[in-house]
Chain A
């Protein structure tokens, strides 16, 4: 259904989901503040926060958009051996494997230039890559599950899957980064 272009109608369509997502994100903020001391001690880690969250969300939303299109075109079947599923999953992991080493190096370099990095570049790259690959695998599972659920409940994956996947991946981004930092440091 088409939303009317009035402030009231737009707000009515947007606010409930927006407020639920805001509360979910407060959850990830609480995880973040639980390792605030480590983050404030190491500028490289603080630099990693928005980019890790954002990239995790983007990996999920790119995959969701592709699966949704394949679903509409009828080229997707929910069979574990499906070519479109495996190919897209492989591309997601491949994208993470390409981008996260550069993100780690970039975060260390920028922290070193601006605040003075306290961690070694190797540590920061290791944290970025481990978090990134873990997040890619999780993004694949979350997106497959959400797309399959949309299909089973006969919802249009375009409307539901992308916002759900993006925000779930945001939260997972913080949780995974936290886990990896605790394991490594």
Chain B
């Protein structure tokens, strides 16, 4: 193939997934744009945002890839009724690891900001927000990933190519939406909001 042919093929193949995830990213941005009051109320929260969003992508992208491989190998059947215990263990592992990473992110952000002498909310506030957001988005993302991978596989799509764009898009949107919900819940419970 000539340079031109390679470039045109790569461009055509990349554009749909890139455009779809850009729409998801913009929607996530709108939620973030509406969270300015929360960012002011919880100093240090903004520093957590990239870590929390990336954790969603890393953990549930890996869950999707694992399920796709499992389907290809016949380790898991693409149905929920009478589903194999492997499926539940994979989902539980994803949610647990996601929670652990979110918690570590909250503590690391708190300690770094404290060491830098920046204004930062109490560590339990950041931790509670990160864990609550991690749990809620983890449940919804697990359901989304399982549903999409199974439905796609049954209809004859290669689940490997579905997982990437769907996890990035859903991860961004659910990630910030549940972050907002978690911040409001924690602020309300703390009697601040």
| Residue ranges of A at the interface with B (Cβ–Cβ < 8 Å) | 3, 5-7, 10-11, 14-15, 17-19, 21-23, 25-26, 28-30, 32-33, 36, 39-40, 43-44, 46-55, 57-59, 61-63, 66, 83-84, 86-88, 90-92, 94-95, 98-99, 102-103, 106-107, 110-111, 114-115, 163, 166-167, 170-171, 174
Interface 1/0s, chain B 114-149, versus A by CB < 8 A? 001010000000000000000000000000000000
A95 touches B101 (CB 8 A): no
The reply to whether B25 and A39 form a contact with Cβ atoms under 8 Å apart is no
A53 to B5, CA, bound (A): 29
Which of B1-45 touch A at CB < 8 Å? 1-11, 13-15, 17-19, 21-22, 24-26, 28-30, 32-36, 39-40, 44
B94: chain A residues within 8 A (beta carbon) = 10
Query: Is there contact, CB below 8 Å, between B33 and A47?
Result: yes
List of 6 A-B pairs having minimum Cβ-Cβ separation, nearest first: A87-B6, A51-B25, A47-B29, A91-B10, A29-B47, A25-B51
Contact B22 A99, beta carbon cutoff 8 Å: yes
Whether the pair A33, B118 counts as a contact (CB closer than 8 A) is: yes
**For residue A63, which residues in chain B have a CB less than 8 angstroms away from its CB?**
10
- A11 close to B93 (CB less than 8 A): yes
Binding site for A on B (CB under 8 A): 1-11, 13-15, 17-19, 21-22, 24-26, 28-30, 32-36, 39-40, 44, 46-51, 53-55, 57-59, 62, 66, 70, 75, 86, 89-90, 92-94, 96-97, 100-101, 104-105, 108-109, 112-113, 116, 118, 164-165, 168, 172, 176
> Do B26 and A110 touch (CB < 8 A)?
yes
A29-B51, A47-B30, A62-B17 known; A22-B90 Cβ under 8 A: no
Q: Using CB atoms, name the residue of chain B closest to A47.
A: B29
Q: Can you offer 9 A-B residue contacts whose CB atoms are under 8 A?
A: A10-B66, A22-B108, A46-B29, A50-B25, A62-B14, A99-B15, A99-B18, A114-B33, A171-B50
CB-CB nearest in chain B for A91: B10
Q: Does A5 lie within 8 Å of B118, measured CB to CB? A: no
Q: Does A62 contact B18, Cβ atoms closer than 8 Å?
A: yes
Question: Nearest B residue to A18 by beta-carbon distance?
Answer: B101
Residues in chain B near residue A29, CB distance under 8 A: 46-51, 109
**Which chain B residues lie closer than 8 Å to A55 at the CB level?**
18, 21-22, 25
Chain B residues with CB under 8 Å of A21's CB are: 54, 58
Given contacts A47-B29, A87-B10, A88-B7, contact A57 B59 (CB under 8 A): no
Q: Which A residues are in CB contact (< 8 Å) with B58?
A: 17-18, 21, 163, 167
- Bound complex: CA A98 to CA B32 (Å): 24
